[in-house]
Structures are given as structure tokens and as C-alpha cells.
């Protein structure tokens, strides 16, 4: 081979080497993302590349912080844990005012002795032939809890008819009054009741019948002289008195 032939072979060899290097560089397919940037190119985001912006993940709005169950319970006493203390329970309770005082029950009225033993009763007991006058019973004081009246004959010295009424402040007071009279009247003994407990007593020429009216806290004593009445007549007069009282 001549010098020219070797020169041609060298040229072809050089050309093949260059072609092989060029053939190793593959051209990227159309639409593929170029990851390498040229030295003078600006980032795609700064150039407003829509493809790059679309690939950025969306930022969700920050979630509103929800109060915990404990904070809700502390803010609302009605949502407190059953059995647990609340602010309302922790506050000191106001002292309970005492209940209003119960007014005492009204006492039964004291009967008027002039209604218990009327003039007609006295006429039936003493007889119409005997004139009499009405007066206070000597030695018996009267007040809001006791009263008395006497029908006194205008002639003679005999005892006419009388009635005494005692009122107790309580039923116990009335029972104590009856017991005291039963013990103080001479020859007193209990008999068939005309209302409540009843006793009969006599002393010299005067007869007495005393009786208790429990429902009215009353004790009544009816009296008459032997000259004008007997025990049966006095007992009937006492029954009429008890009926008028309502005991």
C-alpha cells in the first residue's frame, strides 16, 4: 500500500470513531421532560412553565383546631363527667332559710253562759212561780278563759241556778281543769257522760254536774238549789248545754 492508502484508512478510522460516539448519544423522545438545564436557562418555575406548576401538590387549608372533650366539659358544667365535680357543685351553697313559724291554731270561742242556760231553761228548771234575777256568780272571777252567770230568786235565801264555763288553752289544759274540779267538789263521783267525762256532786242544798267537752277544750259546771230542782232536772239541763256547745 502506498502512503495515500494508509492515509485514507486512518481518515476512515477516525471518522468511525466519531460516528460511534455520536451514535451512543440517544435523542430523547418527544414530550419527555428535560432534566438537564443549560447553563444560561432559568428554572421552569420562574419562567411560569404550566407543566411544572401542575405537578406541584396542592396545599390544603389548615384544619380548624377542635376543642378536646375535656375543654368542652370544663366550659359547660352540664357536660361534666357524671359523678365528677363541677364548678357549680364546688361553689358554696347558700344557707337554707328556716321554715316560717306555724301560727298557733285559733282557740275555740268561749261560749256565752247566757246562751247555754237561757231564761226559758231556768223557768223549766226552777218553775214559773219563782221570780229570779240574773247576776254575776259571787266569788268567781271572769276573764277571756272563764265566765259564769247566776239566776238568783228574788225571794228567800235559796240558791237558784248557775253555770260556769272554763276554757283550756290546749286539750291537756282542759283535762287538767276537769280533774282538778273533780277532786275539789265535795262527794264528787263520775256518772254517765253528757259530753265527755262527767261528774255529779252535792254539798248541803246545792247540786252540781260538771262535764268535759274535749273537742272544744271546755269544762262546764251546772248547778241548782235543792229547793227548786232535783238531780234529774239538772242532768237534763246539762245535756241541753252540751248540745248547744256542740261537744
Domain containing residue 164: CATH number: 3.40.1000
User: Is residue 102 included in any domain, yes or no?
Assistant: no
User: Is residue 2 included in any domain, yes or no?
Assistant: no
- pLDDT at residue 130, as a whole number: 75
Considering only residues 118 and 24, tell me which one the structure prediction assigns the higher pLDDT: 118
Residue 135 bridge partners (DSSP): 150
Average pLDDT value for residue range 156-170? 90
Name the average pLDDT for the chain. Answer: 73
Cβ atoms within 10 Å, residue 116: 23
Total structural domains within the chain: 1
User: Is residue 14 included in any domain, yes or no?
Assistant: no
Which range has the worst mean pLDDT, 40-44, 200-204, 218-222, 232-236?
40-44
In the chain, DSSP finds a helix count (H) and a strand count (E) of 8, 7
> In whole angstroms, what is the distance from residue 230 CA to residue 94 CA?
71
At 242, is the pLDDT very low, low, confident or very high (cuts 50, 70, 90)?
Answer: very high
User: Is residue 20 included in any domain, yes or no?
Assistant: no
How do the residues of the chain divide into helix, strand and coil, expressed in percent and rounded to 5? 35, 20, 45
At 197, is the pLDDT very low, low, confident or very high (cuts 50, 70, 90)?
Answer: very high
For residue 109, the 8-state DSSP code is P
- pLDDT at residue 127, as a whole number: 73
User: Is residue 195 included in any domain, yes or no?
Assistant: yes
User: Is residue 159 included in any domain, yes or no?
Assistant: yes
- pLDDT at residue 59, as a whole number: 54
Structural domain containing residue 133: 113-245
Q: Is the pLDDT of residue 177 over 90?
A: yes
User: Is residue 181 included in any domain, yes or no?
Assistant: yes
User: Is residue 85 included in any domain, yes or no?
Assistant: no
83: left (phi over 0), alpha (psi -120 to 50) or beta: left
Amino acid at each position: 500500500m502506498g502512503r495515500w492508502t494508509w492515509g485514507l484508512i486512518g481518515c476512515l478510522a477516525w471518522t468511525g470513531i466519531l460516528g460511534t460516539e455520536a451514535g451512543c448519544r440517544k435523542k430523547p423522545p418527544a414530550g419527555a421532560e428535560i432534566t438537564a438545564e443549560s447553563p444560561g436557562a432559568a428554572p421552569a418555575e420562574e419562567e411560569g412553565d404550566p407543566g411544572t406548576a401542575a405537578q406541584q401538590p396542592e396545599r390544603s387549608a389548615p384544619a380548624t383546631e377542635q376543642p378536646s372533650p375535656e375543654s368542652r366539659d370544663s366550659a359547660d358544667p352540664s357536660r361534666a363527667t357524671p359523678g365528677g365535680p363541677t364548678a357549680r357543685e364546688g361553689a358554696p351553697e347558700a344557707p337554707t332559710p328556716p321554715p316560717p313559724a306555724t301560727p298557733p291554731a285559733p282557740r275555740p270561742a268561749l261560749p256565752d253562759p247566757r246562751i247555754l242556760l237561757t231564761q226559758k231553761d231556768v223557768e223549766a228548771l226552777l218553775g214559773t212561780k219563782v221570780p229570779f234575777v240574773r247576776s254575776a256568780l259571787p266569788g268567781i272571777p271572769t276573764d277571756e278563759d272563764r265566765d259564769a252567770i247566776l239566776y238568783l230568786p228574788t225571794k228567800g235565801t235559796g240558791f237558784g241556778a248557775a253555770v260556769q264555763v272554763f276554757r283550756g288553752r290546749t286539750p291537756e289544759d282542759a283535762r287538767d281543769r276537769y280533774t282538778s274540779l273533780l277532786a275539789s267538789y265535795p262527794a264528787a263521783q263520775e256518772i254517765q257522760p253528757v259530753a265527755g267525762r262527767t261528774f255529779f256532786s252535792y254539798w248541803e242544798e246545792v247540786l252540781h254536774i260538771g262535764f268535759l267537752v274535749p273537742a272544744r277544750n271546755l269544762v262546764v259546771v251546772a248547778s241548782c238549789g235543792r229547793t227548786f230542782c232535783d238531780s234529774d232536772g239538772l242532768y237534763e239541763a246539762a245535756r241541753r248545754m252540751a248540745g248547744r256547745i256542740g261537744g
